Amino acid sequence: MVNNWEIILRLILASMFGGLIGLDRESTNRPAGFRTHILVCIGSALIMLVSIENSKYGADPSRIAAQVVSGIGFLGAGTILRTGTNIEGLTTAASLWVCAGIGLATGLGYYLGAAFTTLAVLFFLRYSKIFERKFLKNSYKSLEVIGLTRAGLIGDIGTIFGRYNIIPHNIDLNKIIQELTLIKGILRIKVDNRVVDIKA
């Protein structure tokens, strides 16, 4: 039903779609990254191709493929971690689940749906935080902590946050200002052994 070149094309496309999503997850140091997403997507495509092949013998092509949707839950559960009241890894688990769907669509030859879903997933993984900050800005508060760099500083800050039940959603570490002086109307700032002069 599906010729050899079409099979190879579908598997290559599935690995590309999964790899693109995996690269995004890898770039943010998530538990399931580049290789995992490729394997999920290409494996789902292969299962779909096997289902199509089995339909020649009167089997229902959706039966084997349907098991992917429920089976991927076991892999996704391995990426979900609970630390105190905070749960991490749900987005990665969801991206694995979507990758399985993309693989099934590619294996079926539904290229437009697979390609568009890949682009949509990449867009929302990259830019969803911008929408969250814009529409939920009243739900979040900014907090700036300035301290001298030393061993265990981050741990101490985390302990204080925990004491007051503060859950950080985005942490940005900037260079620590080592020296701040005002000389003859010029503000001199020493940042990591680099001196910057600003007219006051």
β-bridge partners, 182: 187
What beta strand segments (E) does the chain contain? 81-83, 86-88, 177-183, 186-191, 194-199
Give the CA distances from residue 26 to residues 8, 14, 69, 93, 185, in Å, rounded to whole numbers and listed in that order: 26, 18, 23, 13, 47
Distance CA(155)–CA(83), nearest Å, equals 15
Task: Let me know: does 98 contact 42? Beta carbons within 8 Å.
Answer: no
The tens-digit pLDDT sequence of the chain (200 residues) is: 688 999 999 999 999 999 999 888 888 777 778 888 999 999 999 999 988 888 777 777 777 778 887 788 777 777 777 655 567 778 888 889 999 999 999 999 999 999 999 999 999 988 877 777 677 666 666 666 666 666 777 777 778 777 777 776 666 666 555 555 555 555 555 544 555 555 54
Task: Let me know: does 24 contact 48? Beta carbons within 8 Å.
Answer: no
- What is the reported pTM? 0.65
Give pLDDT, residue 130.
76
